[in-house]
């Protein structure tokens, strides 16, 4: 690095790196569409993306079918504006007319009833207590049409509460996930995302999360308490040869005690 020149980290855009490293909207929406088709006899039209951030998933939803509409909800005006300038800007006018972004709290947003509500990337873990979580789940329930479905993801495993740092190579940078602290008394964790660049520079704490490490039985119980009639865990199948997940999620009552797992929860109204 020469003096006077900005490092690669200083020139990088944290939202762009996040989308590249963390999100796989295609795989997520494939799962949502396939599961909807198995459970319902009509096409889904309106999808609400809670904690939408840059609204990447909402944009992919409207791109998929001409009858798809999306609402993205996020508290943070800066991240919504980034989404407008970078993601919605890549849609054509007709597609863009089918998306609405709301700078609102997911706990009390009163959007038009949706067929599908998404809470992905574990964003709902940020509600620290049962009353807070149930208040959010109740608002999702109220925000769905009568046969609507709520899709969430979840993570866990015996590595989940450990204070560790994991690295993953991405295209042109390294993604670093840090579980910085875990308090076993209240279940709260501090986690950070850092990005490292090939010139040795680092974007430290590009994203910070303080959340509770909820367990699947707790989440299922709270969804039931909020009114959902059927709450099913979709667990990932195994690729025995590669000794890793195969990307196919099926309804399950029993999961493996893996060090780290990610699954979907499908809650039907
Ligand atoms: C982990 S990011 C998730 C981004 C994106 N949904 C994804 O799947 O990658 C969490 C987002 O939730 C938003 N957020 C946090 N609390 C919220 C609330 N109560 N209501 C709406 N958005 C909230 C933050 O502003 C942030 O953009």
CATH fold, domain 14-157+214-268, is: Rossmann fold (3.40.50)
How many whole angstroms separate alpha carbon 70 and alpha carbon 265? 21
Give nearest CA residue, ligand 1 atom 6.
52
Give nearest CA residue, ligand 1 atom 18.
105
Give nearest CA residue, ligand 1 atom 4.
53
Query: Is the CB–ligand 1 distance for residue 120 below 6 Å?
Result: yes
Domain range annotation of the chain:
14-157+214-268, 158-211
Query: Is the CB–ligand 1 distance for residue 222 below 6 Å?
Result: no
Q: What is the DSSP letter of 206?
A: E
Query: Is the CB–ligand 1 distance for residue 9 below 6 Å?
Result: no
Q: Is the model's pLDDT at 1 over the cut of 60?
A: no
What rounded mean pLDDT belongs to the chain? 96
Residue among 50, 75, 78, 81 to mutate when testing ligand 1 (max atoms within 8 A of CB): 75
pLDDT at 3: 57
Q: Tell me the sheet residues that pair with 202.
A: 196
Phi, psi of 125 (to 5 degrees): -60, -15
Collapsing DSSP to helix, strand or coil, 26 comes out as helix
Instruction: Report CA 115 to chain centroid distance, whole Å.
Output: 18
CB atoms within 10 A of CB 166: 11
pLDDT at 4: 67
How many whole angstroms separate alpha carbon 9 and alpha carbon 204? 9
- Per residue in 158-214, pLDDT tens? 999 999 999 999 999 999 999 999 999 999 999 999 999 999 999 999 999 999 999
Q: What percent of the chain has pLDDT over 90?
A: 93
pLDDT at 50: 98
Nearest atom of ligand 1 to the alpha carbon of 120: 8
- Per residue in 36-51, pLDDT tens? 999 999 999 999 999 9
Structure tokens at 93: 């006018």
Query: Is the CB–ligand 1 distance for residue 12 below 6 Å?
Result: no
pLDDT at 227: 98
Q: What percent of the chain has pLDDT over 70?
A: 99
- How sure is the predictor about 268, in pLDDT bands with cuts at 50, 70 and 90? very high
Give nearest CA residue, ligand 1 atom 13.
51
Q: What is the DSSP letter of 266?
A: E
Residue among 123, 129, 154, 155 to mutate when testing ligand 1 (max atoms within 8 A of CB): 123
How many whole angstroms separate alpha carbon 13 and alpha carbon 82? 10
Give nearest CA residue, ligand 1 atom 11.
51
Distances (CA, A) of 43 to 24, 26, 63, 68, 189: 22, 18, 15, 9, 39
Spatial CA neighbour of 232 closest among 258, 250, 256, 214: 250
Q: From the CA of 126, how far away is ligand 1's center (Å)?
A: 9
Query: Is the CB–ligand 1 distance for residue 75 below 6 Å?
Result: yes
Mean pLDDT of 10-28: 92
Phi, psi of 30 (to 5 degrees): -60, -45
Alpha helices in the chain (DSSP H): 8-11, 14-22, 25-39, 56-64, 77-86, 93-96, 130-142, 216-225
How many whole angstroms separate alpha carbon 59 and alpha carbon 99? 7
Mean pLDDT of 258-263: 95
Structure tokens at 225: 């308490």
- Per residue in 133-158, pLDDT tens? 999 999 999 999 999 999 999 999 99
Q: What is the DSSP letter of 72?
A: E
pTM for this model (two decimals): 0.95
């Amino acid at each position: 690095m020469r003096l006077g020149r900005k490092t690669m980290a200083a020139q990088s855009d944290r939202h762009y790196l996040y989308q590249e490293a963390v999100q796989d909207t295609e795989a997520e929406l494939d799962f949502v569409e396939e599961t909807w088709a198995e459970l319902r006899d009509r096409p889904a039209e309106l999808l609400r993306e809670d904690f939408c951030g840059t609204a990447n998933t909402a944009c992919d939803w409207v791109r998929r079918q001409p009858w798809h509409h999306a609402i993205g909800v996020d508290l943070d005006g800066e991240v919504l504006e980034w989404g407008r300038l970078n993601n919605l800007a890549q849609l054509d006018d007709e597609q863009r007319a089918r998306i609405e972004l709301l700078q609102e709290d997911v706990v009390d947003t009163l959007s038009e009833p949706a067929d599908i509500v998404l809470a992905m990337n574990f964003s709902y873990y940020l509600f620290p207590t049962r009353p807070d979580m149930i208040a959010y789940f109740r608002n999702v329930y109220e925000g769905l049409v009568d046969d609507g479905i709520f899709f969430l993801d979840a993570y866990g495993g015996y590595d989940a509460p450990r204070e560790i740092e994991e690295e993953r190579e991405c295209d042109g940078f390294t993604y670093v996930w840090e579980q910085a602290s875990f308090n076993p008394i209240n279940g709260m964790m501090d986690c950070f995302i850092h990005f490292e660049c090939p010139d040795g520079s680092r974007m430290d704490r590009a994203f910070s999360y303080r959340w509770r490490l909820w367990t699947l039985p707790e989440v299922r119980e709270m969804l039931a308490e909020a009114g959902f009639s059927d709450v099913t865990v979709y667990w990932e199948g195994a690729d025995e040869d590669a000794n890793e997940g195969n990307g196919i999620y099926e309804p399950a009552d029993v999961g493996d005690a893996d060090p780290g797992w990610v699954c979907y929860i499908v809650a039907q109204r």
